[in-house]
Structure 1
Amino acid sequence: KPYSGLLILADEYPQTTTLADGGILERASEVGLRTYIEFPSHVPDLKVGKPAEVRWERGIIATDFFEPRLEEMSILDLHKCSYVSIDIPDPIMVLGRVAGLNRAVYGLPEHQNPLLARHPRLDLLIGTTKLSNFATGRYSPADDWGHVWQAILGWLTGGRWATSLDWRPGVTPAYSREEALPAEVELEALERGLNWFTNSGLLGGGDGEGVDGSSGLMEGFSSLIDPDGGQTMNRGLRADCNGEGAGAMSLGKIIRNDHPGCQISENIIEYLFEGPVFSQGPRKDPASPSYGLISWGASPPADSIYYGDDNARCLLGMIEASAVLGLKRFNAGILRCILANFRTTGSRGFRGWRLEEKDLQERGWRHYFRRRVTLFAPHYEAYLWACYLWAYRETGYRPFLTRALRAIDLTMKQYPEGWKWTNGIAQERARMLLPLAWLVQVQDKPLHREWLTMMGREVISLQDKSGALREELGGPGKGSYGPPRSNEDYGKHEATLMQKNGDPICDMLYTTNFAFLGLHEAATASGDELFIGAEDKLAEFLCRIQTRSEKHPELDGAWYRGFDFSRWDYWGSNADAGWGVWSIESGWTQGWIVSVLGLRRMGLSLWDLSEGSGVKDHLDVLLEGMMS
């Protein structure tokens, strides 16, 4: 029939390449039947290699085949696809390691493989992978893959294809940008966020054991998306994720008193203090300089490393859970850990990037307590200051306040030129909100309010009308993990999700999650409508972009790291070596977003919720044993 086309699809992908008789392809071309074949085992005139699997490669449009909808150098992601190599001239799309958000900013990569190409002799279009897997495999961005297939079908039918493609990716935002939200949308998001913890398979070892939290909470899901649309668990056990997850799950009590999250939360905290690793070994020995610290992770070398920020977030989650559940039995451990971090914090109130067990044992804690170190990087320092301010309020031990205030004062005087940034300056500002809010709670002075208001305005200046908080890079030479500087640099280290300032990308791992907590606490501390309005807008945005998936229940009710609020899709530069666009972090991301939704439901700040903890009962004994 005129304007007909033939599609030979890879039904056995990725296990088996597509078998097609060369004679059929020849005959189809002879009679004018345009043909598309994908993931082929054989193509006339061409040498086809063995299948290989993508790790960092992405698709790049190399011609004007898809214009005007998709321009040359546009980037698309096929995730963890398999492909065959073919030596063919002038490919339409190529596969390669490429830097950029939406476009290949450094041009086509040196090493590339055709992804879609015309046969040099036959009326044949060749896809070297299963391009038809775009829906199941959740190829990104979703809308762009619709344009790809409109063009392929248009070519097959001689330009006569006019039907729009209608499909729904396996994981989508819960609500569109403009969709009217139900009255109880925050409660719905809270419940779904809580359910994610138990549905994710991350509790225990993923083998059905320890699902009550007694074996901890695994880190999350990696950013790699498999051909079936699922994602690989990140099975690492980190203290911060466990503490933060425990804090969030305790809020199941809002839903009902016998919510499973309540007992899971308590079990996780017990695991952190009494389990086989995190608080054991030298950390359990009162004579050890690492006494009271909680290790970064459960496996070497992380079991001998101490990030102050990770300990701080673990502590904040445990403080939250203890307050929600009315627990007192962990108070000694909580205060012990705060003091363990405090006595390894220098005289100016900074603790530095991280400490290691070997160095602690060699130098002793007093070496660190006397240091005059500074690190103007709130990502690493700010949440310990918040812990010290909280501990001062709870115990009256003035050195907690003195060192925290000294560090905050020095840090604010260095803003912005003196600040170091990790993945961007936006996250550093977001991290600073919590200690500034709690400083106003402790000492409500004009200068402290001025600091909080100034930093809040900086954070809110990046808020889109949708409520999203746009990422922003800091000054040159001050950052640790900026965008890739070349195609070859893509995927080799931690990285931001954006390529340049102005990109409509928000980050739920490093910025938005902590801004949500900071804005919530700032709103309570200041009563300022500036903070209240920004927090409300951000809450609505987070309810809209929470994942929804019937096909992948383990991914339903979560928040991915990256979101493009212009496309309204999970998208970004997936250059980060460990935590890319589609990663889900059980603590940093899920923990704090769920926690703040719960606090909003309760009408409380974390500061007010946790007042009167009773940790002071253990102060004298711990001071005598740890600070003398």
Structure 2
Amino acid sequence: MFAKTVGVQRRCAPKWRIALFRNERNDFDRILEGLGIDYDLLSHNSLADWAFEEWELWDYDVLIICSDHFPQPTCFKERALERIASFLKQGKSLYLEYASPLTQEEVCPKGIDFQRLFVKKHHYLTLDLKPGAILDAHRTFYLPAAFPDQEEILSLGRICGTFQKVGDVLDEPVPVLSVASRYGGRIIYSGVEMSRFTAKRYRPTAHWEHLLRRIVLFLIPKKMRANYEEKASSIPMPGKETLGQKKAPEWSEQERREKYRIALQRNLRWYRSSGVMPDPMGTKGVYEQVHSDIDCFGRQKVVEWHRPDCNSQSALAFYLAGRALNRNEDQQTGLNIVNFLLSHRFQDMDPDHQTYGFWSWWEMKSMQKYAEAIYGDDNSWPAFTLLKLYQMTGRKEYLERGLLTTEALLATQGIGGLRHARLNGVEVNQEGKEWYARQNWEDAWGGSSPHYGANVVALYFYVYGLTGDERYLAVAEEGLSNMIRRYLDESYTEWVTSHTAEHARFLLALASGFHYSQRTEFRDALEKVCDFLMAHQVECGAIQEWDNPNRDTYGTAETGVFCENGEPISDQLYCTSFAALGLWTAYKATGDEIYLDAFRRLADYLVRIQVQSDYPRTDGGWMRGFDFEHWEYYGASGDIGWGAYAME
């Protein structure tokens, strides 16, 4: 133990002394101990209330004063300010965080929204960080650094970039870490609570670790610093022991089956313990997501509203997992989730409506007459789930309700077999379904986009296989052919979140198209899309995100979780998950084992990055953004609803 809690008794002073003021163990304890530095623990109240003389505080060379009652800023009594001033007059060093700037004036903290900290100035504190390096403190509170003549080291602002700032700051930057001289001493002031960055899950971990180590080294008297700098250089960064994960494992088939089984069980537990399921048996459905925003205490909230696509995907997952694991309880949970959807007003069941059979993006309230916000992709998932469950259970209601949706979709499919991304229910009932069928949606929102339309085409192929209805095959073949022509043209760059994610969303339709029609055109397009994705599959099995079309919209729109090509980021929400499903389907459609190998590598990667945490809200799930270079969940979290830490 290096720390010692100090009372009023004096002890013989070593060559230099450091005092740490904090309420609970934090990252400074760990860093000081790693450097082999003895330190004394003192309470914040001791600065004003203890009956020792000023010279006893002078006996320290360094004071580290962490936040006291976060999120309330630390405020000092007059006596405490006098003692700190006397200490600084000896030419000594102070670290002060999230506190009034050595005054008794009340300070009002502000909340961080989409702003992030970034390196403003080259300084000793930032020697291990590149210019513009980003430090994400999520949705914590901050105080502007406001010392006269301060050196501004870190600023806070809305910026683009993942690891480094890209372009200009998009709002007025605010200084939050500075170095200043006061009363003849030296102050490092942080307007953000940095001392608990690990507990609060600030990212990237390596950037915060480098910064706090440099803060400690900078505080050490200069004549003694060199020895500790050498020691610091030999201490591995947190997480270094996991970097071997970057190599793909060599599992036997038996090992793989067991690891997949455990991953399935852990994910089902996540559903039941994270808060996304109000009832663990699924009778009250599944909430949309654990939101990406991480609050000032390192917590995430559940978005408590129901979406038909999320519920149907979860229902099918539970049912299939229950069959695979031979667990009737999980199968029943899947059926309960479906029955929740069918017994509430998600699907428009009024045959007099032009929106009959469509699913609203949310549950329709009593004042809402029609299904609203009718996304084609979101409607395809309840239909898929109901029809697949019909195949496995024989329940006629599932078949009837599923076909109601596919008929509504088919009736609104436009010229060339393409459709608009989203229909407005009121307008559909005013214009009639036939009006939509007469429109050419190729260049409209979502018209040629796999993100919005490919899954509907895949659904049509599936319905044809289930029913033999040639209408579905004809529209599916025409729509897929036109989507291939337009989307795979080299001039197309209208990807929703990334090029890789858009390709991943295309696989199911292409594989289904080739399976049901055996067209060479579909096989060639499937091969082209798979080749692109496999070219971006790295050694650890991840598919590296590529081509973000919206990198300059940080905090204002839907966007990817990376900025520049080459960054070591994978996207589990929009790419990895759909690519895994698509690669498996491509293998089943073609028999080509190159797709099976790519699927296994990707699924192995998913198993290895499954969240392991003491925090039940995240343990056993997958977040959207993962940094496979540093092996931690992280990414550019500028998406307005589904950022890097979203678990949908």
TM-score by structure 1 length? 0.84
The answer to which of 62-71 and 51-60 deviates more is 62-71
After TM superposition, give the deviation of residue 3 of structure 1 in Å: 4.5
For the aligned residues, what is the CA RMSD? 2.6
The answer to which of 338-347 and 314-323 deviates more is 314-323
Aligned to 2:204: 141
Choose which of 265, 277, 291 in structure 1 pairs with 2:356.
291
- Superposed CA offset, 1:22-74 (max 9, x none): 22322222334422111113415x97731111111111112223344212210
Matched, 1:512 2:579: no
Long gaps (5+) in structure 1: 205-209, 586-628
Matched, 1:196 2:273: no
Choose which of 492, 507, 510 in structure 1 pairs with 2:556.
492
| Distance in 2 of aligned mates of 1:463 and 1:325 | 37
For residues 103-142 of structure 1, the aligned pairs below 5 Å read 103-108=164-169, 111-121=172-182, 122-142=185-205
Choose which of 367, 382, 386 in structure 1 pairs with 2:435.
367
How many residues matched?
Answer: 562
After TM superposition, give the deviation of residue 352 of structure 1 in Å: 1.0
| Distance in 2 of aligned mates of 1:325 and 1:66 | 64
Matched, 1:264 2:333: yes
| Distance in 1 of aligned mates of 2:581 and 2:219 | 52
Aligned to 1:7: 64
The answer to which of 522-531 and 260-269 deviates more is 260-269
Do the aligned residues in 1 keep the contact of 2:510 with 2:526 (CA within 8 Å)?
yes
- Partner of 2:464, secondary structure, is helix
- Partner of 2:291, secondary structure, is strand
The answer to which of 297-306 and 505-514 deviates more is 297-306
Distance change >3 Å, CA 174–CA 364, structure 1 → 2: farther
Do the aligned residues in 1 keep the contact of 2:273 with 2:617 (CA within 8 Å)?
yes
After TM superposition, give the deviation of residue 445 of structure 1 in Å: 3.5
- Partner of 1:304, secondary structure, is coil
- Partner of 2:202, secondary structure, is coil
Q: Give the partner amino acid of 1:402.
A: A
| Distance in 2 of aligned mates of 1:174 and 1:155 | 29
| Distance in 2 of aligned mates of 1:24 and 1:254 | 69
Distance change >3 Å, CA 110–CA 438, structure 1 → 2: closer
Aligned to 2:453: 381
Distance change >3 Å, CA 16–CA 319, structure 1 → 2: farther
Distance change >3 Å, CA 350–CA 7, structure 1 → 2: same
Matched, 1:339 2:400: no
Matched, 1:417 2:478: no
- Superposed CA offset, 1:289-312 (max 9, x none): 111111111267995110001111
After TM superposition, give the deviation of residue 8 of structure 1 in Å: 1.0
| Distance in 2 of aligned mates of 1:411 and 1:168 | 46
Choose which of 106, 109, 113 in structure 2 pairs with 1:55.
113
- Partner of 1:17, secondary structure, is coil
- Superposed CA offset, 1:312-357 (max 9, x none): 1232334444555665541111111111111111242112111111
Matched, 1:31 2:76: no
Q: Give the partner amino acid of 2:190.
A: G
Matched, 1:404 2:476: yes
Matched, 1:241 2:300: no
After TM superposition, give the deviation of residue 113 of structure 1 in Å: 2.2
- Partner of 2:166, secondary structure, is coil
Q: Give the partner amino acid of 1:557.
A: G
| Distance in 2 of aligned mates of 1:107 and 1:448 | 44
For residues 76-87 of structure 1, the aligned pairs below 5 Å read 76-87=135-146
The answer to which of 54-63 and 395-404 deviates more is 54-63
- Partner of 1:37, secondary structure, is strand
- Partner of 2:130, secondary structure, is coil
After TM superposition, give the deviation of residue 130 of structure 1 in Å: 1.0
- Superposed CA offset, 1:347-405 (max 9, x none): 42112111111111111112223333322111111001111000001111101000110
Do the aligned residues in 1 keep the contact of 2:126 with 2:211 (CA within 8 Å)?
no
Aligned to 2:155: 94
After TM superposition, give the deviation of residue 199 of structure 1 in Å: 1.1
Q: Give the partner amino acid of 1:14.
A: P
Do the aligned residues in 2 keep the contact of 1:174 with 1:548 (CA within 8 Å)?
no
TM-score by structure 2 length? 0.81
After TM superposition, give the deviation of residue 120 of structure 1 in Å: 2.8
Matched, 1:19 2:76: yes
Q: Give the partner amino acid of 2:545.
A: E
- Superposed CA offset, 1:176-199 (max 9, x none): 434967652222211111211111
Aligned to 1:219: 288
Do the aligned residues in 1 keep the contact of 2:361 with 2:372 (CA within 8 Å)?
yes
- Partner of 1:547, secondary structure, is coil
| Distance in 1 of aligned mates of 2:84 and 2:391 | 70
| Distance in 2 of aligned mates of 1:526 and 1:555 | 37
Distance change >3 Å, CA 514–CA 179, structure 1 → 2: closer
Aligned to 1:600: none
| Distance in 2 of aligned mates of 1:313 and 1:421 | 21
Do the aligned residues in 1 keep the contact of 2:360 with 2:371 (CA within 8 Å)?
yes
Do the aligned residues in 2 keep the contact of 1:424 with 1:472 (CA within 8 Å)?
yes
After TM superposition, give the deviation of residue 16 of structure 1 in Å: 4.4
After TM superposition, give the deviation of residue 112 of structure 1 in Å: 2.2
Do the aligned residues in 2 keep the contact of 1:60 with 1:94 (CA within 8 Å)?
yes
| Distance in 2 of aligned mates of 1:362 and 1:67 | 61
- Partner of 1:441, secondary structure, is helix
Q: Give the partner amino acid of 2:482.
A: L
- Superposed CA offset, 1:414-441 (max 9, x none): 2133543111222221111111111122
| Distance in 2 of aligned mates of 1:492 and 1:173 | 34
Percent pairwise identity? 29
The answer to which of 518-527 and 77-86 deviates more is 77-86
| Larger relative contact order, structure 1 or 2 (CA cutoff 8 Å, min sep 6) | 1
Do the aligned residues in 2 keep the contact of 1:47 with 1:86 (CA within 8 Å)?
no
| Distance in 1 of aligned mates of 2:243 and 2:467 | 43
Aligned to 1:468: 542
Q: Give the partner amino acid of 1:435.
A: A
| Distance in 2 of aligned mates of 1:292 and 1:319 | 14
| Distance in 1 of aligned mates of 2:169 and 2:436 | 49
Matched, 1:441 2:515: yes
Do the aligned residues in 1 keep the contact of 2:386 with 2:399 (CA within 8 Å)?
no
| Distance in 2 of aligned mates of 1:166 and 1:500 | 27
Aligned to 2:8: none
- Partner of 2:181, secondary structure, is coil
After TM superposition, give the deviation of residue 511 of structure 1 in Å: 1.5
Aligned to 1:591: none
Aligned to 1:533: 597
| Distance in 1 of aligned mates of 2:489 and 2:172 | 40
